[in-house]
């Protein structure tokens, strides 16, 4: 294995790329190569080599392997010549989109993406129709297509393993080994990873011969346009604290990172119930759910998205104002990946970490490792939230230029307001504005600064969800028929329960998202370990069971039956 020194090449033309690809890049406003691109592209264009690229997410790795890969494809051969394996559906989709754009002016080059969570029959038809030379895939779905004899990899000359460390973390090692066993022994393997653990080295020794290695140090990618902040908060106060932070920043558009899928869903469900435009993105959601959430987030209908590190791979949104670390990652190197979602395209951004007193040492470690400085902030008090909220609304009001039509209306309405003074009108305006602020009145969320943070009580955030579920049932009880059903309601059984590590709020969201029935039409929800029962107003229950057909949860088919 030999390492490559940094070279200074400033344009894609100087890297030796085909003029047709350069033209496509110019149309995409991609004019200057990143460090990994400047070093990798000439090597991968030059000849048949194995390659290792070590760089963090967000450094331009897709173009680093994608541009030379497109050049190596023979448009006249309608067979799979390259496979690109990716850990998540979102990242696989993003890679396919970029490769297709790069190949815009290369006639005859076809790229297709396949991934789990979507109907496999549709993907089979697309492969048979397009006969692509490049397949981008998640490992599980590609293996499924190989076993069905839909894909023949005997002509594969290039195998790309993107985010290889993440694929291993997700348990895809055996799948990768099996997939590569179906390819030519003399193929070129290009591996891209943020880290190089022992398992990655094992893949290198098994599948590569004297690979070239390019390493981009993490120090080169810390975005100086990001302001790093942290606040101390007790675990049980994190969600109220998050609500305060969001109430104080009316224009916030952010990603909220949680450590686990269960916490991501719990937070999103609870925040939505509290009136905040938040949803979740994690690996246990169906592809249809994930696509729907991303459409709402990218369009701005959702201002906040709770996500796990894995699910966030492939999210490409340029105008995020904040990244919030609701939970700091176990691997502190992920802090840079997460924070880099904001302050893109030369804009400013803020990364806020919500840490417990016991986690404070992690902030010091991050400052030392990344050579950054954190500013300690307090969670806004209720009065501060009110002040900032009103000032924001007044600033917005003062920035509006009154139209001639509006001035005409003013004359017609003045008589109705003559008995009110300016102070009274403003007081009514402020009262209405306060009605839109949802918060825990009087709560002291900065108590972690004082001795009360040492009360030794455990995190009881889940108790609030359980209490809310109990209240939900009490409020919806009514007369029941001889089969125990509420009058006017139809009862359904679903094979999801407490054993799936979900709570009533999570199940309610799943039912609403998939069936399209609003929560106000859903009655009693009863959960046990293996399954659950729920009631839906009979005027809204038609087609509910069919809506779940073909969907999976943690790899298991979801089954819903009307009782």
CATH at 345 = 3.40.50.300
- Asked whether the beta carbons of 269 and 505 are under 8 A apart, the reply is yes
Q: Are residues 527 and 540 in the same domain?
A: yes
Residue 456 lies in a domain: no
The answer on 31 and 6 residing in a single domain is yes
- Please state at what angle helix 61-72 crosses helix 19-27, rounded to 10 degrees: 140
Is residue 75 very low, low, confident or very high in pLDDT (cuts 50, 70, 90)?
A: very high
Among residues 293, 292, 352, the alpha carbon closest in space to that of 326 is found at: 352
In a domain, 440, yes or no: no
Kindly state whether residues 337 and 367 are assigned to the same domain: yes
Show the domain range for 304.
222-379
449 within domain boundaries: no
Tell me, yes or no, whether 177 and 293 share the same domain: no
User: How many domains are there within the chain?
Assistant: 4
Stretch 364-384: mean pLDDT: 85
Give the span between the Cα atoms of 166 and 522, in whole angstroms: 39
Nearest alpha carbon to residue 152 among 122, 185, 114, 182: 182
Regarding beta strands 111-114 and 552-553, do their DSSP bridges make them parallel or antiparallel, or are they unpaired?
unpaired
In a domain, 447, yes or no: no
The string of pLDDT tens digits covering residues 118-176 is 889 999 999 999 999 999 999 999 999 999 999 999 999 999 999 898 888 778 889 99
Asked if residue 499 is part of any domain, the answer here is: yes
Buried-state track 345-367, b at ≥16 Cβ within 10 A, e below 16: eeeebbbbbbbbeeeeebbeebe
CATH number at 499 reads: 3.30.70.330
- Same domain for 420 and 372? no
Does the global pTM surpass 0.75? no
Chosen domain end from 159, 185, 220: 220
What pLDDT, on a 0 to 100 scale, did the predictor assign at position 10?
Answer: 61
Highest mean pLDDT among 6-10, 354-358, 374-378, 407-411 belongs to: 374-378
The rounded distance, in Å, linking the Cα atoms of 436 and 41 is: 53
Same domain (yes/no): 498, 536: yes
Q: Are residues 300 and 260 in the same domain?
A: yes
Q: Do residues 226 and 362 share a domain?
A: yes
Same domain as 207, residue 69: yes
Contact criterion met (CB below 8 Å) for 343 and 318: no
Where does a domain end: 379, 414, 447?
A: 379
Domain boundary among 220, 246, 278: 220
524 and 506 both lie in a single domain: yes
Residue 149, C-beta contacts closer than 8 angstroms, at least 6 positions apart:
none
Q: Say if residue 165 is in the same domain as residue 279.
A: no
Q: Please give the C-alpha separations between residue 351 and each of 336, 464, 490, in angstroms, as whole numbers.
A: 10, 28, 46
pLDDT of residue 214: 92
pLDDT for 476 beyond 80: no
Helix, strand, coil fractions of the chain, as percent rounded to 5? 45, 15, 40
| Percent share of the chain, pLDDT over 90 | 37
Structural domain includes residue 453: no
Same domain, 32 and 171: yes
Nearest 10 degrees: CA dihedral of 272, 276, 281, 284?
-10
Residue 282 lies in a domain: yes
């Amino acid at each position: 294995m030999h390492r490559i020194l940094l070279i200074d090449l400033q344009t894609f033309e100087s890297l030796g790329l085909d003029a047709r690809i350069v033209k496509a890049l110019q149309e995409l406003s991609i004019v200057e190569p990143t460090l990994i691109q400047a070093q990798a592209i000439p090597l991968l264009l030059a000849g048949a080599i194995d390659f290792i690229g070590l760089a963090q997410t967000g450094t331009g790795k897709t173009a680093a392997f994608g541009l030379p890969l497109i050049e190596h494809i023979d448009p006249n051969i309608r067979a799979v010549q390259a496979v690109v394996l990716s850990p998540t559906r979102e990242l696989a989709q993003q890679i396919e989109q970029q490769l297709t754009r790069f190949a815009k002016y290369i006639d005859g080059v076809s790229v297709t993406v396949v991934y789990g969570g979507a109907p496999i029959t549709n993907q089979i038809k697309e492969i048979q129709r397009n006969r692509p030379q490049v397949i981008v895939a998640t490992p599980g779905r590609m293996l499924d297509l190989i076993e069905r004899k839909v894909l023949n990899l005997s002509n594969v000359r290039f195998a790309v393993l993107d985010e290889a460390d993440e694929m291993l973390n997700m348990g895809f090692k055996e799948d990768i080994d099996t997939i590569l066993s179906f390819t030519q022994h003399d193929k070129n393997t290009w591996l891209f990873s943020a880290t190089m653990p022992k398992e990655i080295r094992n893949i290198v020794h098994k599948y590569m011969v004297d690979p070239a290695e390019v390493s981009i140090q993490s120090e080169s990618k810390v975005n100086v346009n990001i302001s790093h902040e942290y606040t101390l908060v007790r675990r049980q106060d994190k969600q109220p604290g998050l609500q305060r932070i969001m109430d104080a920043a009316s224009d916030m558009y952010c990603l909220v990172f949680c450590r686990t899928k269960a916490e991501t869903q719990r937070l999103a469900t609870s925040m939505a119930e509290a009136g905040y435009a938040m949803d979740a993105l994690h690996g246990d959601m169906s592809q249809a759910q994930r696509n729907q959430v991303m459409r709402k987030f990218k369009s701005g209908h959702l201002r906040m998205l709770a996500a796990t590190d894995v699910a966030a791979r492939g999210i490409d949104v340029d105008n995020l104002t904040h990244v919030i670390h609701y939970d700091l990652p176990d691997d502190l190197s992920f802090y840079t990946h997460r924070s880099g979602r904001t302050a893109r395209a030369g804009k400013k951004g803020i990364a806020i970490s919500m840490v417990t007193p016991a986690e404070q040492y992690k902030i010091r470690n991050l400052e030392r490792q990344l050579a950054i400085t954190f500013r300690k902030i307090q969670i806004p008090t209720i009065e501060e939230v009110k002040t900032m909220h009103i000032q924001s609304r007044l600033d917005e009001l003062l920035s509006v230029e009154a139209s001639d039509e509006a001035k005409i209306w003013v004359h017609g309405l003045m008589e109705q307001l003559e008995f009110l003074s300016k102070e009274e009108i403003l007081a009514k305006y402020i009262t209405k504005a306060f009605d839109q602020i949802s918060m825990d009145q009087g709560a002291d969320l900065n108590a972690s600064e004082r001795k009360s943070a040492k009360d030794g009580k455990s995190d009881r955030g889940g108790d609030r969800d359980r209490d809310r579920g109990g209240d939900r049932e009490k409020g919806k009880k009514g007369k029941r028929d001889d089969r125990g059903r509420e009058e006017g309601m139809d009862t359904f059984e679903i094979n999801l329960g407490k054993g799936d590590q979900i709570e009533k709020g999570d199940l309610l969201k799943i039912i609403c998202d998939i069936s399209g029935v609003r929560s106000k039409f859903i009655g009693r929800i009863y959960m046990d370990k293996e399954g659950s029962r729920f009631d839906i107003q009979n005027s809204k229950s038609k087609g509910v069971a069919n809506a779940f057909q073909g969907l999976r949860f943690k790899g298991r088919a979801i089954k819903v039956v009307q009782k």
